[in-house]
Amino acid sequence: MIRRIVALYLIAFFVTGFPVTTAYAADEVDVGLPDYTILPIEAGDIVPFDGVLLSLDAAAKLLNERKFENAECDLRVEYELQIQRQNYDLQLDYKDIEIHSWKDKYESMMILKTAENDRLTELVTKQKPGSEPFMVALGFGIGTLTSLGIFALATEIVKQ
């Protein structure tokens, strides 16, 4: 990040015309030259203005870094987007698996319920009515007749 700021700062000097160079010695400088001219200087020479002095290697490195800065940024953004895309796909796949498992569980439960309903229906339809209702009716009839008989005997005994 600091390299980008420094690179942008130095490029701003190049673009806006600030003196970012070396210059001839003060007695050899032509005063009529514009301030943004890049002039070669020798070690120990005096320059007539304030500015930033870059060696040829430093200037070349600065220009090359600027040249590949956009590509580097694009690669980083693409990398981050790819990571997010893969995380999103992973979450979608997980949710799909979860949905399929719930569907399978639901289908299994429905199969079990259907099988149980079929079994109970078959059990109810296969059974013949037992003798229990007949025995209850017979017991009710015998009990009623016995009660009437006792009542009749009791009324006969009282009348005599």
- Same domain? 117 vs 75: yes
My answer on whether 45 and 82 are in the same domain is no
19 within a domain of the structure (yes/no): yes
Q: Does 71 lie in the same domain as 121? A: yes
Clarify whether residues 71 and 123 are in a common domain: yes
The answer as to whether 89 is a domain residue is yes
Contacts 24+ apart (CB under 8 A), 17-20: 18/51, 18/52, 19/49, 19/50, 19/51, 19/52, 20/51, 20/52, 20/54
Is residue 141 included in any domain, yes or no? Answer: no
**Is residue 12 in a domain?**
yes
Angle at 16 between CA 14 and CA 18, to 5 degrees: 65
**Greater model confidence, 138 or 55:** 138
Residue 5 banded pLDDT, cuts 50, 70, 90? confident
pLDDT tens readout for residues 18-45? 544 444 444 455 545 444 456 677 777 7
Claim to verify: residue 79 and residue 115 sit in the same structural domain:
yes
**Do the domain assignments include residue 62?**
no
At 57-114, the pLDDT tens digits run: 877 787 788 788 888 899 999 999 999 999 999 999 999 999 999 999 999 999 999 9
Q: How far apart are CA 37 and CA 49, in angstroms?
A: 12
Domain residues for the domain of 27 are 1-54
Has residue 93 been placed in a domain? Answer: yes
Q: Report pTM.
A: 0.39
In a domain, 41, yes or no: yes
Strand, coil or helix: 22:
strand
* 159 Cβ neighbours under 8 A, 6+ residues apart: none
Counted domains in the chain: 2
Residue 24 lies in a domain: yes
Judged by average pLDDT, the poorest of 15-19, 98-102, 118-122 is 15-19
Residue 122 parent element (H or E): helix 56-126
